[in-house]
Amino acid sequence: MSEMTYRDALNLALKEEMRHDPSVVVLGEDVALYEGAFKVTRGLLSEFGEERVKDTPISENTIIGVSVGAAMGGLRPVAELMTVNFALLAMDQIVNHMAKIRSMFGGQTCLPMTIRMPGGGGSQLGAQHSQSLETYFMHCPGMYVLYPATPADAKGLLKSAIRNNNPVIFLEHELLYNSKGEVPDDPEFLVPIGKADVKRAGEQVTIVAYARMTILALQVADELASSGISCEVVDLRSLTPLDDETILTSVRKTGRAVVVEECWRTCGLGAEIASRIHEQCFDILKAPVKRVSGLDVPMPYSRKIEKLCIPQVETITQAVMDVMSDNY
């Protein structure tokens, strides 16, 4: 095990997979000479050359379209979009082509491709560069959606995504790039797609979260433990498919659930998870499922107001206290 940042774990995953499989190629805006907007592709050009690490024009629709064709032709492209916000310019290729071609061709071809995209708010980048769009992709069948919270999961999930024969949306929270954690050195270390992880065991309330919200949930669990409240933290890791078994097993044990998401509340991921919990665990719930979500507003530029629009430790703590209350 080695301690490294989330950014370096992703970089290591890319290097290991490119060494493992010569069909893996990386393409996107500034991924080669500039080494990526967030430096995740650092060192790839010098090691693997310009045939496998390609700088592209500023055209997201083209980047994904080329990747779709490359995947159909036998390569394993890893496309980097500078931010998830720019994926809106490539939704035709993502939704109408990448997600559907395997089914429309009757399984005669596959699309082993991965789209890496930084996202999330909290960096004071304004409304058009601070969005959490994971539910856009979750709503479309035909592709996996992954969103790791820790460096170890970032490495293991990205390697699994690249090796998978289906298209994968791989999301990375911008505020996690400098976070550190222990990462297995084994080049064959993989994190299974579709499997959530219980990051902290507890007895009284389940907190379901993902990406940066998992980190905040763990902080809440640590703080509440001193007050005698035992929280179990379930990190989704995979948003599509959702690991119902792990979520429901935890809720059946604790009898209470708080679902935390950074995306907008209306039609958000939290609503889907809350619905599944209520459908499967209604008789054993000690309180209704509580949702903590981003506000349904365009993200403001002001740092103080931006903070109000994104779940914080304080708002998650209050949600836990609410479901623990006899009056809820």
Same domain, 241 and 171: no
What separation in angstroms does the CA of 299 have from each of 189, 231, 262, 270?
37, 30, 12, 19
Same domain, 20 and 166: yes
- Percent of the chain exceeding pLDDT 90 equals 97
Confidence of residue 327 (pLDDT cuts 50, 70, 90): low
**What integer is the mean pLDDT of 199-208?**
98
**Distance (Å, rounded) from C-alpha 286 to C-alpha 324?**
9
Q: Please name the residue that has the structure tokens 């507003």.
A: 297
**Distance (Å, rounded) from C-alpha 215 to C-alpha 186?**
24
**What integer is the mean pLDDT of 75-101?**
97
Residue ranges making up the domain that contains 263? 197-324
pLDDT digits (tens, 9 = 90+) for 110-163: 999 999 999 999 898 999 999 999 999 999 999 999 999 999 999 999 999 999
Do 67 and 113 touch, CB atoms closer than 8 A? yes
Q: Evaluate if residue 323 carries a pLDDT over 90.
A: yes
Same domain, 149 and 281: no
Q: Indicate which CATH number applies to the domain containing 285.
A: 3.40.50.920
Same domain, 176 and 211: no
Q: Indicate which CATH number applies to the domain containing 67.
A: 3.40.50.970
Q: Evaluate if residue 243 carries a pLDDT over 80.
A: yes
Same domain, 132 and 210: no
* Mean predicted lDDT score pLDDT of the chain: 96
* Cα-Cα-Cα-Cα dihedral sign, residues 136, 139, 142, 146: positive
In the listed set 183, 215, 238, which residue is the last one of a domain according to the structure?
Answer: 183
* Cα-Cα-Cα-Cα dihedral sign, residues 327, 251, 132, 126: positive
Same domain, 172 and 201: no
pLDDT digits (tens, 9 = 90+) for 4-21: 999 999 999 999 999 999
Same domain, 284 and 175: no
pLDDT digits (tens, 9 = 90+) for 30-75: 999 999 999 999 999 999 999 999 999 999 999 999 999 999 999 9
Q: What share of the chain is helix, strand, coil (3-state, %, to 5)?
A: 40, 20, 40
Q: Evaluate if residue 26 carries a pLDDT over 70.
A: yes
pLDDT of residue 215: 98
Residue 188 falls inside a structural domain = no
Which residues are identified as catalytic?
60, 129
Q: Evaluate if residue 293 carries a pLDDT over 80.
A: yes
Q: Evaluate if residue 27 carries a pLDDT over 90.
A: yes
pLDDT of residue 107: 87
Same domain, 10 and 136: yes
Residue 141 falls inside a structural domain = yes
Same domain, 205 and 177: no
Q: How many domains does the chain have?
A: 2
Compute how many other C-beta atoms are within 10 angstroms of the C-beta atom of residue 220.
25
Per-position b or e across 9-34, b if 16+ CB within 10 A of its CB:
bbbbbbbbbbeeeebbbbbbbebbee
Confidence of residue 326 (pLDDT cuts 50, 70, 90): low
pLDDT of residue 67: 98
Give the length of the chain.
Answer: 328
pTM: 0.96
